[in-house]
């Protein structure tokens, strides 16, 4: 009869949600509640000598800091492990295992590095640690390549503790699990456990785990999971759900109450600020077989409808899909939009005739515009040219929109529209002024192409006399503070909010050197 074990990855995979910044108090609480649940293995985090810390985070600069600052009292019956991504830690610096420190190391690696990873595994085992083999994107191995990898492990690492099938992008379905299990179970040494690590992009983590449990084998099995599925993107298999199932049908005696308490006291608090779980962008990353970081990157720009995010994901080069390349993603996004550029000479000439030397009121969709309605209405009665940015709250002279759905609605309302070429390249309606997308954005490490950026750059170039700003509130990690229209609210982290606020503050200050800027509503951009 095979044994079935749970390895909880909350402190490690869950750390991908918050950059491993749990803080020491939360780390201690998570650890104590996991121990109280009776889980078999606890993964304490990553070992990463470049990005690791000594304490307060679950990304450690070495294995030695773990017992010094965190793992003070190991509980009998629980195995404590940490993960190393291939190339992130010099194994020569790894000290021999001690009773006080971690018991095992899991090494994650890409296919191109598997020979080196096996050599490092030998060194890790020789230093007294259990060693677990984590071939990322196991689905990317052909049957022959997977068998070759397993044969090499059998010969060079016969004393390894376990071998995993890793569903890095959450793309596996039940038949994929069965196929991989047949290959691994038939070829791997019987002494090694067979493990499974999943992601929930297709909402199949639980289903795939059941498929593994029903697989006919006498081999020991290990399943990775995290409390409330906490993990990058769509998250992971839920530890509390897996425990309950094993208690009901496999005679286990895990205690789920400590995990319920942990969810209530810690995990829910984190989840309010930092979302993980199923979302359409992670589904799209799965069916496009790429890391969800691309989906998050494009989706979190909040500039493209979801069908265009899907189109972008489908354009990612095969060799780029495995690891996220921010510069590549930015260039792909820029090229995707810039290919729709068009000559806007006549448009700019027409806009100059109407705006040069004028006082201009820009009304952005910040939440403040609904609280100072009368004040904005009074300004509209003055001698100004008014431009709404992605909203219809006021009857303005123009609407400048960077969104397809708002552009289409503006067409039905027969409004005077200013729109970049990536949204409406081929529109020939008399009320539509198309500006060249690439000319009115700011390019750098990140592409800034919001309606706010475009309108400010455009007003400066048109030589307006004065720019009045309403609804330029700024961003907050509290989603309820962003935008008056709830449908426009998308989650942003505190760091993302700070970066955006800093960028817009500097942009407005720069334009204020040549064009007088007046805030009609309160704003974090105002010095």
Q: Residue 202, Cβ neighbours under 10 Å: how many?
A: 21
The CATH number fitting domain 4-273, selected from 3.20.20.70, 3.40.50.10860, 2.60.120.10, 3.30.70.20: 3.20.20.70
DSSP string, 302-324: --S-HHHHHHHHHTS-GGGSSS-
**What backbone phi and psi angles, to 5 degrees, belong to 359?**
-85, 130
Q: How far apart are CA 163 and CA 196, in angstroms?
A: 9
Closest CA to 129 of 70, 80, 60: 80
User: What one-character DSSP code corresponds to residue 487?
Assistant: G
Q: How far apart are CA 356 and CA 345, in angstroms?
A: 15
Closest CA to 296 of 315, 287, 309: 309
Closest CA to 63 of 19, 98, 23, 26: 98
Residue 22, CA atoms < 13 Å, CB-side half-sphere: 29
- Whether 388 contacts 419, CB under 8 Å: no
**What backbone phi and psi angles, to 5 degrees, belong to 134?**
-120, 80
**What backbone phi and psi angles, to 5 degrees, belong to 187?**
-105, -25
DSSP string, 125-181: HHTT-EEEEEESSGGGS-HHHHHHHHHHHHHH-TT-SEEEEE-TTS---HHHHHHHH
For tokens 């609280």, what's the residue? 371
The tens place of each residue's pLDDT in the chain, 527 residues long, gives 589 999 999 999 999 999 999 999 999 999 999 999 999 999 999 999 999 999 999 999 999 999 999 999 999 999 999 999 999 999 999 999 999 999 999 999 999 999 999 999 999 999 999 999 999 999 999 999 999 999 999 999 999 999 999 999 999 999 999 999 999 999 999 999 999 999 999 999 999 999 999 999 999 999 999 999 999 889 999 999 999 999 999 999 999 999 999 999 999 999 988 889 998 889 999 999 999 889 888 887 777 778 888 999 999 999 999 899 999 999 998 888 888 778 899 999 999 999 999 999 999 999 888 888 899 999 999 999 999 999 999 999 999 999 888 999 999 888 899 999 988 766 677 889 999 999 999 987 788 999 999 999 999 999 999 999 999 999 887 777 778 777 776 766 778 889 889 999 999 999 999 999 999 999 999 87
- Domain residue extents for the chain: 4-273, 280-338, 345-519
């Amino acid at each position: 009869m095979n044994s079935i074990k749970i390895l909880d990855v909350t402190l490690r995979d869950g750390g991908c949600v918050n950059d491993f910044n749990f803080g020491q108090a939360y780390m201690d609480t998570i650890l104590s509640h996991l121990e109280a649940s009776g889980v078999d293995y606890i993964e304490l985090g990553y070992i990463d000598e470049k990005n690791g810390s000594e304490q307060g985070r679950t990304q450690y600069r070495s294995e030695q800091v773990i017992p010094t600052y965190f793992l003070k009292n190991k509980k009998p019956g629980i195995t404590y492990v940490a993960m190393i991504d291939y190339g992130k830690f010099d194994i020569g610096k790894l000290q021999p295992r001690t009773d006080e420190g971690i018991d095992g190391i899991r090494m994650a690696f890409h296919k191109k590095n598997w020979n080196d990873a096996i050599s490092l595994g030998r060194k890790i085992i020789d230093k007294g640690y259990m060693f677990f083999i984590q071939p990322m994107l196991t689905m990317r191995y052909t049957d022959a390549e997977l068998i070759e990898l397993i044969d090499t492990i059998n010969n060079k690492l016969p004393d390894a503790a376990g071998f995993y099938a890793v569903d890095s992008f959450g793309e596996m379905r039940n038949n994929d699990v069965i196929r991989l299990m047949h290959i691994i179970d038939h070829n791997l040494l019987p002494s090694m456990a067979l493990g499974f690590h999943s992601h929930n992009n297709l909402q199949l983590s639980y289903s795939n785990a059941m498929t593994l449990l029903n697989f006919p084998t006498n081999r020991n099995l290990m399943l990775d999971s995290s409390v409330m599925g906490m993990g990058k993107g769509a998250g992971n298999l839920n530890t509390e759900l897996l425990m309950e199932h094993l208690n009901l049908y496999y005679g286990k005696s895990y205690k789920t109450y400590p995990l319920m308490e942990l969810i209530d006291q810690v995990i829910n608090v984190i989840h309010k600020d930092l979302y993980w779980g199923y979302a359409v962008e992670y589904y799209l990353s799965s069916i496009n077989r790429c890391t969800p970081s691309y989906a998050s990157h494009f989706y979190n720009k909040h500039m493209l409808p979801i069908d265009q995010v899907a189109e972008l994901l489908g354009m990612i080069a095969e060799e780029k899909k495995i690891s996220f390349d921010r510069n590549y993603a930015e260039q792909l996004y820029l090229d995707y939009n810039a290919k729709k550029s068009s000559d806007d000479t006549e448009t700019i000439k027409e806009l100059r005739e109407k705006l040069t030397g004028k006082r201009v009121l820009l009304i952005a969709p910040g939440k403040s515009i609904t609280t100072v309605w009368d004040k904005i209405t009074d300004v509209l009665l003055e001698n100004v040219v008014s431009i709404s940015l992605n909203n219809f709250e006021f009857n303005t002279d123009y609407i400048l929109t960077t969104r397809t759905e708002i552009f289409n609605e503006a067409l039905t309302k027969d409004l005077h529209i200013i729109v970049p070429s990536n949204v409406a390249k081929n529109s020939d309606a008399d009320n539509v002024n198309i500006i060249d997308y690439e000319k009115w954005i700011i390019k750098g490490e990140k592409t800034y192409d919001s309606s706010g950026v475009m309108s400010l750059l455009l007003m400066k170039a048109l030589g307006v006399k004065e720019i009045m700003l309403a609804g330029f509130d700024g961003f907050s990690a509290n989603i309820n503070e962003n935008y008056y229209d709830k449908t426009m609210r998308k989650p942003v982290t505190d760091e993302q909010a700070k970066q955006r606020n800093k960028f817009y503050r500097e942009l407005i200050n720069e334009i204020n050197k040549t064009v007088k800027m007046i805030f009609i509503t309160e704003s974090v951009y105002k010095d």
